[in-house]
Amino acid sequence: MNKKVLVTGASGHLGGVLFRSLANLGYKNLVGTDLKKKNIGKNQKFILANLKNLKAITKMSKGVHAIVHFGAIPIEDTQPNILQNNIIGTYNLFEAARINKVKRIIFASSNHAIGFHRRTTKLNEFSNQRPDSHYGLSKAFGEELSRFYADKFNIKSMCIRIGSCLKVPQDRRHVSTWISYDDLTQLVDIGIKHKAIHHVIVYGASKNKKSWWNNSRAYQLGYKPKDSSDKFDIHLLSKNEHKNKMALLFQGGVFTSANFKGDIKNIK
Binding positions for ligand NAD, rule: CB under 6 A: 9, 11-15, 34-36, 50-52, 70-74, 85, 89, 108, 110, 162, 164-165
Q: Report, in Å, the least distance between residue 92 CB and ligand NAD.
A: 9
In terms of Cβ atoms closer than 10 Å to its own Cβ (0-12, 13-18, 19+), residue 211 is buried
Which residue, 24 or 266, is less far from ligand NAD as judged by CB?
24
Annotation marks residue 135 as catalytic: yes
Which residue, 28 or 62, is less far from ligand NAD as judged by CB?
62
Distance of CA 121 to the CA centre of its chain: 21
> What does the CA dihedral 110, 114, 119, 124 come to, rounded to 10 degrees?
-90
Nearest residue relative to ligand NAD (C-beta): 12
Rg (the chain; Cα; Å):
18
Distance of CA 215 to the CA centre of its chain: 15
How many C-alpha atoms does 21 have within 13 Å on its Cβ side?
Answer: 17
Which residue, 87 or 155, is less far from ligand NAD as judged by CB?
87
Q: Are 110 and 135 in contact (CB under 8 A)?
A: yes
- Residue 33: count other Cβ atoms within 10 Å of its Cβ: 26
Which residue, 19 or 27, is less far from ligand NAD as judged by CB?
19
Give the separation between CA 229 and CA 262, rounded to whole angstroms: 33
Q: Report, in Å, the least distance between residue 152 CB and ligand NAD.
A: 23
User: Helices (DSSP H) in 77-197: which residue ranges?
Assistant: 79-82, 89-99, 134-153, 174-177, 181-193
Q: Report, in Å, the least distance between residue 193 CB and ligand NAD.
A: 20
Which residue, 14 or 254, is less far from ligand NAD as judged by CB?
14
Q: Report, in Å, the least distance between residue 154 CB and ligand NAD.
A: 24
Q: Which of 27, 135, 203, 223 is catalytic?
A: 135
Give the separation between CA 37 and CA 245, rounded to whole angstroms: 40
- Residue 130: count other Cβ atoms within 10 Å of its Cβ: 21
Name beta bridge partners: 13.
none
Q: Report, in Å, the least distance between residue 254 CB and ligand NAD.
A: 14
What residues are annotated to the active site?
A: 135
